[in-house]
């Protein structure tokens, strides 16, 4: 009799415990049938991510072919190596829209390279050779800092990499910094149309992966993830090719309290590195990209202007994106 009474008392308490862990605990992975588990996700530091953004910008514009570009490639590979990744630097000469040949360095850091099941995280690291959307025409022919468009995604991923080196995720993780993404056709000069002038680094990697037959469960691309007023709509190619990954990421963000950045509305169809990853390697890849459906370009105010500088980088935005990505990858089994 005594035991029965005890059980009656215990049952509500147990129910409360189960309910609480379902709400506040970890997240579900992208494989929907798996049970929710509580995992300790290491603390993403916005200050640290910001410092990685600042370090890149300090080289000056990372325009392919420049000294800043070469030095920054070295910095990225040395940093990933120091964090414990197995690093591959792919070097090739690629032809840009105007017929010039520039050096390309894709920098790849692999954590737990022996694991079969993998996640790929990526961002482009080069900066644009001109500011074709600057309202001041006198500023259009100079290269840009690309604090947001380039350095922000890399800064977030370097901070993720720092944690992966000390607290391994269950799956293998490859962090890929694609080069020569932003040397696409200029909008301020009439040079005629040419297809596929953007994303030359990811196009190269798609045809020559760093590991033979490389495949990941899915990929996540970060692009322009550092503005104070960032909004991440659901990019349409991502929704078409990887709806389960989009849902997992946006749901994780909402649970963490970042629903005002990771909004439920649809974005445009953006030909970014993830499109070539998906097309050439055949695994799903989504794009977390700041998109403004009502702006004239679809992108943010500083996009491809000289205002894309460090002073416009926001730690809280880096935090929201980095924390969300960490939540997703550390819960993957």
Tokens standing for 127? 């900066």
**Least Å distance between CB 222 and Zn ion?**
13
308 binds, among Zn ion, ligand AHN, none (CB under 5 to 8 A by kind): none
Residues 164-193 that bind ligand AHN (CB under 6 A): 182, 184
Residue 270 interacts with ligand AHN (CB under 6 A): yes or no: yes
**Least Å distance between CB 200 and Zn ion?**
13
Contacts of 104 (CB under 8 A, 6+ apart): 64, 90, 91, 92, 93, 94, 179, 180, 200, 201, 204
Paired strand residues for 109: 87, 175
Select from 126, 132, 134, 149 the one that contacts ligand AHN (CB under 6 A). 149
Residue located via tokens 């819960």: 331
Select from 198, 218, 232, 237 the one that contacts ligand AHN (CB under 6 A). 198
Measure CA of the first residue to CA of the last residue in the chain; give whole Å. Answer: 43
- Which is closer to ligand AHN, CB of 87 or CB of 221? 221
- Which is closer to Zn ion, CB of 159 or CB of 182? 182
- Which is closer to Zn ion, CB of 134 or CB of 327? 134
Q: Are 262 and 252 in contact (CB under 8 A)?
A: no
**Interacting residue ranges for Zn ion, rule: CB under 5 A:** 149, 182
Residues 205-244 that bind ligand AHN (CB under 6 A): 223
134 binds, among Zn ion, ligand AHN, none (CB under 5 to 8 A by kind): none
Contacts of 136 (CB under 8 A, 6+ apart): 306
Q: Which of 74, 73, 153, 161 is nearest to 109 (CA)?
A: 161
What is the C-alpha separation between 271 and 266, in angstroms, rounded?
15
Residue 271 interacts with ligand AHN (CB under 6 A): yes or no: yes
Residue 125 interacts with ligand AHN (CB under 6 A): yes or no: no
Where along the sequence are the contacts to ligand AHN (CB under 6 A)?
A: 149, 182, 184, 198, 223, 270-272
């Amino acid at each position: 009799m005594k035991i029965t009474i005890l059980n009656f008392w215990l049952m509500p308490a147990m129910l409360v415990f189960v309910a609480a862990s379902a709400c506040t605990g970890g997240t579900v992975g992208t494989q929907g049938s798996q049970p929710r588990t509580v995992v300790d996700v290491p603390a993403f530091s916005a200050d640290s991510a910001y410092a990685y953004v600042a370090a890149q910008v300090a080289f000056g514009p990372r325009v392919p072919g420049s000294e800043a570009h070469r030095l920054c490639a070295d910095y990225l590979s040395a940093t990933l190596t120091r964090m414990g990744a197995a690093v591959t630097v792919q070097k090739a000469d690629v032809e840009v829209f105007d017929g010039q040949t520039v050096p390309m360095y894709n920098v790849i850091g692999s954590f737990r390279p022996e694991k079969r099941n993998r996640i790929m995280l990526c961002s482009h690291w080069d900066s644009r050779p001109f500011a074709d959307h600057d309202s001041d025409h006198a500023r259009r022919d100079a290269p840009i800092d690309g604090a947001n468009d380039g350095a922000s995604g890399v800064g977030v991923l370097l901070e993720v990499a720092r944690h992966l080196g000390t607290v391994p995720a269950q799956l293998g993780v490859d962090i890929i910094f694609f080069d020569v993404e932003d040397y696409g056709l200029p909008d301020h000069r009439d040079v005629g149309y040419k297809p596929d002038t953007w994303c030359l680094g990811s196009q190269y990697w798609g045809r020559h992966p760093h590991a033979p037959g490389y495949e990941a469960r899915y990929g996540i691309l970060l692009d322009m993830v550092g503005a104070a007023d960032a909004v991440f709509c659901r990019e349409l190619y991502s929704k078409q090719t990887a709806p389960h990954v989009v849902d997992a990421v946006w749901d994780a963000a909402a649970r963490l309290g970042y629903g005002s950045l990771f909004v439920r509305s649809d974005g445009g169809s953006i030909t970014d590195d993830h499109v070539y990853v998906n097309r050439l390697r055949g695994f799903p890849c989504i794009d977390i990209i700041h998109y403004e459906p009502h702006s004239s370009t679809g992108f943010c105010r500083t996009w491809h202007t000289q205002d894309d500088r460090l002073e416009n980088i926001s730690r809280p935005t880096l935090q929201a994106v980095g924390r969300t990505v960490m939540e997703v990858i550390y819960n993957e089994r």
